[in-house]
Amino acid sequence: MTDKKKIVVAMSGGVDSSVALGVLNEEGYDCTGISMQLWDYAAKEESREDTLAGTGATGGSCCSLEDIAVARSVADALGLPFYVLNMEAPFEREVVEYFVESYLDGNTPNPCIKCNEVLKFDVLLKKALGLGADALATGHYARIEKCGDRYRLLKGIDEEKDQSYFLFTMTQFQLAHIRFPLGSMTKAETREAARRLGLKNSEKEESQEICFIEESGYGEFIKERTGRNIKGGDIVDPEGVVIGAHTGFYNFTIGQRKGLGLSDGPYYVTKVDATENRVTVSKEEGLYSRALIATGINWIDSEAEKAALSAKGLGGIRVKIRYRHSGAEAVARLEESGRLIVDFREAQRAVAEGQAIVLYRGEEVLGGGWITKAIAQD
């Protein structure tokens, strides 16, 4: 074996992770590509009694068998070893089940963060280290910086592409053993590098969709998986007056405007009540929250945690309430119970229970958690 640092690169078949492999290889690391096989539509099809295998259902936008074939060809072209690890079981148990349950609870899940937390940064990282690798690399746009004996998680240089929001669950151990080679690159630079490296997927479209959801949408997916015939119910206004009917509460998320079928709108979904099978809507102004409660908090910066526990709370921060959110000024207070209360300086639109919040100071991720309650504007 060689003395070169050994890095396993998690590959999805997309441009970003392919470039991650390419640049680390150029930098002289001993690289191995690994793809996780997470969800095989062909196999799922086959198990359905009444359908034929592989009837064109390719649905997923990442980690499908076609994408794995692309990842393999990228590694082959660079002359690097490549493996596929079957992680369908933990993926189904930890990500898909969570996704379905979250919707059935009337929440808005974020399966990509779960997948990072449970699969990439835990199962896959351990496998990579078990294989003798020094680190695992992914194609995320974020940076890790060593500061004394601690690691800091920072936004990617390319503000537009920054993916640090999806990474708030990372532990110090993970930060010490993960590399994000694209963190200091812009998307344009990545595309340029892809061309330079001769990657044939350099012009591939970005995947934005949830990888295991087919074109028919998540409502159909949930219906099919649970086999439950969830009936339609009432659409009510903030006062509880029935103003319409819906086709199943899981078809709705906070802030949704389309598909309500109400006249004299626009109306927006403000609450999805799974137990009562009721969807509450309001006009634009009812969509704002002045505060929220989050749990399951992971602190990357322990000083921030201390500040949040203090009477004054943690100020001077911006809080993102979804990926495409610019971040809002807020004060965060941590209770002994572990609940985090976030008070916004200005009320925020469409705070969705089940989504992640991430706390930033400048470009640094201090920590994050999961929204359990939105507190409406008075």
Partner 1 sequence: MDKIYFDHNATTPVLDEVFDAMLPYLKEEWGNPSSIHWAGRVPKKAVEDAREKVAAFLGCSPVEIIFTSSGTESDNLGIKGLAYAKKKKGNHIITTKVEHPAVLKTCKYLEKEGFEVTYLNVDEEGMIDLGDLKESIRPETILITVMYANNETGVIFPVEEIGRIAKEHKITFHTDAVQAAGKIPIDTSSLDVDLLTISGHKLYAPKGVGALFVRRGTRLVPVIHGGHHERNRRGGTENVAGIVGLGTACEIATRDMEKERAHLEKITKRLENGIIERVPDIHINGGGSPRLMNTSNISFEFIEGESILLGLDMHQIAASSGSACTSGSLEPTHVLLAMGKTAELSHGSIRFSLGRTNTVDEVDLLIDVLPPIVERMRSMSPLYAGSNEPVVFKR
How many CA atoms lie less than 13 Å away from 256 in the CB half-sphere? 20
Q: How many CB atoms lie within 10 A of CB 280?
A: 22
Element (H, E) at 359: strand 356-361
- When asked if residue 84 is in the footprint of partner 1 (CB under 8 A), the reply is yes
Contact with partner 1 (CB under 8 A): which of 26, 45, 105, 122? 122
- When asked if residue 169 is in the footprint of partner 1 (CB under 8 A), the reply is yes
- When asked if residue 40 is in the footprint of partner 1 (CB under 8 A), the reply is yes
Write down the least CB distance from residue 272 to partner 1, Å. Answer: 26
- N residues, the chain: 378
Distance CA 292, CA 343 (A): 7
Q: Which x/- pattern over 199-238 shows residues binding partner 1 (rule: CB under 8 A)? A: ----------------------------------------
Q: Write the Ramachandran bin of 40: left for phi over 0, alpha for psi from -120 to 50, otherwise beta.
A: beta
Q: How many CB atoms lie within 10 A of CB 80?
A: 17
**CB nearer partner 1, residue 104 or residue 176:** 176
Report the side by side order of strands in the sheet with 268-273: 242-246, 233-236, 278-282, 268-273
User: What's the CA dihedral at 163, 37, 100, 225 to 10 degrees?
Assistant: 150
- When asked if residue 127 is in the footprint of partner 1 (CB under 8 A), the reply is yes
For residue 147, report the phi and psi dihedrals to the nearest 5 degrees: -140, 100
- In this chain, which stretch among 85-93, 155-163, 205-213, 300-308 interacts with partner 1, using CB under 8 A? 85-93
Residue with tokens 């969800």: 39
Write down the least CB distance from residue 126 to partner 1, Å. Answer: 5
**CB nearer partner 1, residue 35 or residue 61:** 35
- When asked if residue 130 is in the footprint of partner 1 (CB under 8 A), the reply is yes
**CB nearer partner 1, residue 68 or residue 194:** 68
Contact with partner 1 (CB under 8 A): which of 15, 21, 95, 118? 118
Tell me the two tokens of residue 324: 């495409």
- When asked if residue 126 is in the footprint of partner 1 (CB under 8 A), the reply is yes
Contact with partner 1 (CB under 8 A): which of 5, 26, 37, 277? 37
Contact with partner 1 (CB under 8 A): which of 57, 129, 274, 347? 129
63 is catalytic: no
**CB nearer partner 1, residue 40 or residue 273:** 40
Tell me the two tokens of residue 104: 């059935």
Contact with partner 1 (CB under 8 A): which of 44, 83, 243, 295? 83
Task: Kindly identify the residues of this chain, within the stretch 287-326, that bind partner 1 according to CB under 8 A.
Answer: 298
CA angle 97, 99, 104 (to 5 degrees): 95
Element (H, E) at 291: strand 288-299
Three-state SS for 124?
A: helix
Q: Known catalytic residues?
A: 115, 211
Residues in contact with partner 1 by the rule CB under 8 A: 1, 32, 35, 37, 40, 42, 65, 68-69, 72, 81, 83-86, 89, 118, 122, 126-127, 129-132, 169, 171-173, 298
